[in-house]
Amino acid sequence: MYARRRHLYFAMMGTCVGMFVLAWAVVRLWSVPAAIGMCLFAMVIPPVAAIVANRRGPDDRWWDEETGDPESDRWWNELDDRRGRDDQRDGQ
């Protein structure tokens, strides 16, 4: 899923850059308002691309979600440094 989102992000950003270049290299020779319109449309693409690239897929692990597998959960807790904080709370 990550590769698909990454490819979609780069395709959207490539389209954005292409529209800017096309607008001011070619389209402006025939119509400046059309070139400005293309740039305004291209201006909307980067925030949408960032949202698409950063959304969580159905198979992605969320940062605080338990997986149900004790060994995997223990590994993730250690990686997230949760166990150290839990031990400190128990000692108080």
Domain ranges within the chain, ordered by starting residue: 1-60, 61-92
Count of beta carbons in the 10 Å neighbourhood of residue 16? 19
Q: Which amino acid is at 11?
A: A
As a whole number of angstroms, the distance between CA 19 and CA 25 comes to 10
pLDDT tens, residue by residue, 46-88? 999 999 888 877 666 665 666 677 887 777 777 767 555 555 5
Report the predicted TM-score, pTM, of the whole model to 2 decimal places: 0.61
